Structure 1
Amino acid sequence: MTVKRIGVIGGGQLAWMMAKAAQRLGFDLIIQTPQKNDPAVSIATEVIFAPIDDKAATIELADHCDVITFENEFIDLEGLKPLEKRGVRFCPSLKVMTLLVDKYRQRSYLQHIGLPVPKFTTLENLSSFNFSFPIVLKVRRHGYDGQGTFIIKTPEELEITAKNLEGKEVMVEEFVPFERELAVMAARSVTGEIAVYPLVETYQSNQVCRWVLVSGDISTEVQKEVKQIAINLLTRLEVVGILGIELFLTPQNQVLVNEIAPRTHNSGHYTLDACKISQFEMQLRALSGLPLDSTELNCLGAVMINLLGYEHSRQNYLEKRQKLSEISCSHVHWYGKTNIRPGRKIGHVTVLLEKNEITSSSKIRRQHLLEIAQKVESIWYSQ
């Protein structure tokens, strides 16, 4: 099947960055999104203005496209199943989405196929769960960027939080005292070809990603283990598309799979500037059957820093963006959002280490990248 027109459910910054990749590859990108000021509206080939769970709008989207992919997980899976039965092609498939968008179902599947995961249960079965505080509560669906995740330190906190979450399905897991949080992007094409990007380190604050380091300062053994985890997962699920895989690395050097995102992901934004093929182009290549090509870095290392809202405003922060662009080898990506609020992702900055800039150890590269991240944040969050 020849793919020329690609539909996307969602029109945020991920679709915006995907639309740029679609232009380079010569695809038409048609999006379904509710707001006229959503980031991808300005660049998509066509726009269907409707909520992303509007089934009638998705039927219209399907009539205009060869294949439909997703920008987020806020979708009505049951409403889409009749479309898939009548021949509409979704990538990833609705079977894959069903397994992955529910955190408890996802974790159960990962455990079933033998991947290492933290201990977990449901809130209803907590009494039979051998645990000690702290523990982690996660809303099973629609939790992202710190929403729906709670670190519980005492029985009193547990009682209050459980009451506040009454009526919602909740997963409970052990708190992992990790040494580092890791992530990897991996894609599988319609032909079965698999591509795995470099393993990166992420830093979260209040369950929101602040920055991503691409330093190579992770042992070869861990890198190989994570790559095999990614390959096993993609193969078993028969994924067509790209996955973001988040992991914990414990002080004992044990790797545990934390969460899977069935789409492009914040931890892969560095690929826009640091790799020959970005995660967004890789997703399009995977679902269209084009060769996946190389995931290698085009630089010695990189750091990606999220620009998070820190106030309620409608500013465009031109002066700060100019200062950020003056940092050597920096790339500023501004999403064009007009409604700024604390914690909202409104852009990101990637800074590259050129191959002739630093030739010393990965630990020194990592420290240098951390200093760059601190410099970017000091500019961005200065009042």
Structure 2
Amino acid sequence: MKRVGVIGGGQLAWMMGDAAKKLGVKLVVQTPSSDDPAVAIAQDAVFAKVDDAISTGILAQKTDVITFENEFVNLDSLSVVENQGVCFRPRLAALTPLLDKYNQRCYLKDLGLPVPRFFAVEQPENLQSQIEDLGFPVVLKSRRHGYDGQGTFIIQDLADLQQKLNLHITNNDISQSQFLIEEFVPFERELAIIAARSVEGEVVTYPVVETQQEEQVCRRVIAPADITPNQAAEIEAIAHTLLNSLQVVGVFGIELFLTAAGKILVNEIAPRTHNSGHFSLDACETSQFEQHLRVVCGLPLGNPALHSASAVMVNLLGYEISKSDYQNQRQKLAEIPQAFVHWYGKTESRPGRKLGHVTVLVDHQNRDVISTIAQTIESIWYPTRKFPY
């Protein structure tokens, strides 16, 4: 039996559980708390923060290969473990250009991939002249550890920018060099693609999807996206270029913008399985989670094709502070035809927290009907309010 260590014990690791059983893989997770979702499906666990490299050494003793559920790791510390002969997939060198979002932007630009204009916040006295080249509004981003909209701010003017920077410096004792600024892209739609690359260098891609965000958190994913064949081919080529350049062994999520003029821009790279690929659990021949374990274990890649005409995935976000398991709402969601409810088993709800998701398979691609399905799910889940915060 192949033993796979997973750094991180959240829902992404939890969703590897069924695939691990199918493939005969033993999962061991490194995660801070026994309450974390993946502990329930793992055969063993190392209880430690994900950036604790000493504990990762213990994880290595229990496993044949180590992979990642999230990117909140200390690469310098982990490199000591890797130099001791531990196999990481993806290897640390593939993660190095990506974990800092400014470095990620530079890497993508150097590859010739289309990205928004950007610069690092390093010298405050130069901010005004640099921003004049972009024009307001602009996007301010934390270079590390931002996710689900955290650490990302839409800035309307210079005073707003200075106030935001000063607030973060005061509250968190961090320097301005930990931010980047990029142009605000008035996109028509947000898109994403999941791609996997094997040990042998074979790359497969999942259907391009449309992601719908509210308050900078993903609310819905529609597969496949309503785009032209040329746009789909361009996005697939971006995925191939990126994964081959990095020599990745693993699954990556790539988020993109589609402008009104039909231009594709790369937004961000997630060096792991991704929320935009959750639909694959129920709608594809091989889910992104099974694909990831296949890649990590050196098994042949699976077929990523849809086995329904389309699918819609809706995130179940917390909208209150509660310890409820929302059983009544989950039962109603399960009664929707061709619906699959995935509940992550988290012990506490709070506004914006991802508690689960629902995927509905649809035997056509009528966007009005798909939109109605999503609205039905949200009317059941959010009975008294439109937004989760």
User: What band does the TM-score fall into relative to the shorter chain?
Assistant: over 0.9
In the alignment, what sits opposite 2:189?
Answer: 180
Letter in 2 for 1:295: P
Cα distance between partner residues in 2 of 1:281 and 1:201: 22
Letter in 1 for 2:282: D
The one of 52, 55, 76 aligned to 1:54: 52
Letter in 2 for 1:69: T
Deviation readout 1:128-176 (Å, 9 max, x if unpaired): 4212110000000000011100000122211111112322400100000
Cα distance between partner residues in 2 of 1:367 and 1:222: 22
Matches of residues 144-223 of structure 1 in structure 2 within 5 Å?
Answer: 144-166=147-169, 167-168=174-175, 169-223=178-232
Matches of residues 226-265 of structure 1 in structure 2 within 5 Å?
Answer: 226-265=235-274
Cα pair 2:210 2:225 within 8 Å, conserved: no
In the alignment, what sits opposite 1:143?
Answer: 146
In the alignment, what sits opposite 1:134?
Answer: 137
SS of residue in 2 equivalent to 1:165: helix
1:245 Cα deviation from its structure 2 partner = 0.1
Q: Normalising by the residue count of structure 1, what TM-score does the alignment of the two structures yield?
A: 0.95
1:254 Cα deviation from its structure 2 partner = 0.2
1:127 Cα deviation from its structure 2 partner = 4.0
Cα pair 1:307 1:380 within 8 Å, conserved: yes
Cα distance between partner residues in 2 of 1:214 and 1:44: 30
Cα distance between partner residues in 2 of 1:105 and 1:339: 35
Change (3 A) 1:315 1:188: same
SS of residue in 2 equivalent to 1:101: coil
Task: Give the gaps of 5 or more residues in structure 1.
Answer: none
Superposed CA RMSD in Å reads 1.1
Cα pair 1:328 1:351 within 8 Å, conserved: yes
In the alignment, what sits opposite 2:375?
Answer: 374
Letter in 2 for 1:371: T
Cα distance between partner residues in 2 of 1:91 and 1:247: 24
1:124 Cα deviation from its structure 2 partner = 2.0
Change (3 A) 1:180 1:216: closer
Letter in 2 for 1:81: S
Matches of residues 198-347 of structure 1 in structure 2 within 5 Å?
Answer: 198-347=207-356
Aligned: 1:42 with 2:17: no
Cα pair 2:117 2:134 within 8 Å, conserved: no
1:20 Cα deviation from its structure 2 partner = 2.1
1:215 Cα deviation from its structure 2 partner = 3.8
Matches of residues 5-24 of structure 1 in structure 2 within 5 Å?
Answer: 5-24=3-22
259-268 or 289-298: which moved more?
289-298
1:206 Cα deviation from its structure 2 partner = 1.2
SS of residue in 2 equivalent to 1:306: strand
Cα pair 2:194 2:288 within 8 Å, conserved: yes
Task: Give the gaps of 5 or more residues in structure 2.
Answer: 385-389
Aligned residues: 373
In the alignment, what sits opposite 2:387?
Answer: none
Cα pair 1:110 1:117 within 8 Å, conserved: yes
Cα pair 2:207 2:224 within 8 Å, conserved: no
Aligned: 1:75 with 2:73: yes
Regions of 4+ moved over 6 Å? none
1:216 Cα deviation from its structure 2 partner = 4.4
Cα distance between partner residues in 2 of 1:342 and 1:236: 38
Cα distance between partner residues in 2 of 1:204 and 1:270: 16
In the alignment, what sits opposite 1:93?
Answer: 91
237-246 or 157-166: which moved more?
157-166
SS of residue in 1 equivalent to 2:195: strand
Q: Normalising by the residue count of structure 2, what TM-score does the alignment of the two structures yield?
A: 0.94
SS of residue in 2 equivalent to 1:158: helix
Cα pair 2:208 2:224 within 8 Å, conserved: no
Deviation readout 1:32-80 (Å, 9 max, x if unpaired): 0111110011110111111111222110001111111111111111110
SS of residue in 2 equivalent to 1:202: strand
Change (3 A) 1:92 1:29: same
1:107 Cα deviation from its structure 2 partner = 0.6
Cα pair 1:309 1:341 within 8 Å, conserved: yes
